[in-house]
Structure 1
């Protein structure tokens, strides 16, 4: 009888612990969903004709004036949409003025570039082709004429866009379709849906990320978007040791309120998209996290808090189950 009583107590305690654990996990998922949104795999199939054409154009070096670089040169799909350089190499040996952000998931952004000067992905695609330090093409007419003379594209555009001439509109649309096919859901998206569990370090990191105020700016589907001043509590260049002080969005709007304001970068795949910030001045994510805590939140975070935040950020890396972006090459 005594043994039976003990067995019943063990079973009841086990059920109670399991119930509390389930409740805690449910609360954690709710906390996450209150601050972030999930993304899912793109509905665009890699064999979609526009995606196939867009992919060819994305890797096409003849879209640069000297046939030396393609979109992929600065936004390498095998490197999570970046080139891991401080500044990217443009045509004719030029160097870009800002670090190249990842191209992955950019169709979900409300605007493009560090200063938000492009409102749509198609607009963003067209601008680098005409920028001196990037692809350096002289005009849209020149681009269209050059592409039209290439037999492969003359045939492909005829099939994908029947009864239409090659144009900047359909060139940029095709590339945009390819980029949209590269959406990168992660373990964290599975967690938001209740289909995965975060590790203890990832869980602590998410809580610190929210509690310290990081999620005030890095939230939503991309854990980033919109605009914020870089250096709320102190000048950013004191910590980044930037060689040039960039005025940010002010260069576009000439509005004093936009001085040192930059687009809030997405944190998806951020463990792979080094170096960090608009000028690539910081090489490690650990240092970037500490600087952000200090200049944006006036917080001196501990080593453990930093490591836990990085563990959380690692859960935003594209899941192997969804296939790597490079697998669409």
Structure 2
């Protein structure tokens, strides 16, 4: 049976701070867009994450026939996490057997490039990566924080900035401009007060993610401690890219490395220059692609492809989703 004339595909991209959902006709037109807060199962919990997704999908579908649904969420890093999420949505009316449930990095990867061989590294609150080869092989990471070897992103930079500032304050460490800059940026009277507030949970530790601009500014002004942190962040991004290329045997191929996330979008020249130089030394044919738009574009393209849409629909959808998600008021169907 052919789909109804108003049948749609639904795509969702969910992160730690916001979640986008779009419904598109098979010819690539956006008929609805909604945005909500974070939906990462790791941060919000499985039940709360499913509730956010269910509300958004129901709103954008608006009773239309849904021929394909793709969900790309931060925090779905392990196979068991994907399996549990699938089980949690299984009873919902829109959750068909063809529904795709995956990590949000795949949406970033698809949004950033059409290449069959490609790598995506996201550096936002945290840092993670995925690599894909033309034959379907992938390289991915647990992304569970320090216990799985991860460091960086806004939280990693902020936590280390505070660590070095605290040691400067009591004489154990090197002097750094971060010591004076951090309290003012977070609205604290002093560094000691900030540390005490964090200890007694009067402030959430998540506030440390807001310190990345302080680190970049201090590094730009010549602060050695901040500069070392920026260099470390660049090296971590390179390490992810190198690992993906090595594991997929793509080191000598002309592979696009798609970089996304708020830390990358900051455009810090020191960090980006170090990434470019480092990449040239380990994979001379690889190229950097900076993606500044919303990854929901990639989620929409993947959903349309799975739903059988053609090339013209994909071209239209890229423009339509970009316009819909950049608007101050989401479009609705």
The two structures have a TM-score, normalised by structure 2, of 0.29
**Larger Rg belongs to:** 1
More strand by share: 2
The two structures have a TM-score, normalised by structure 1, of 0.29
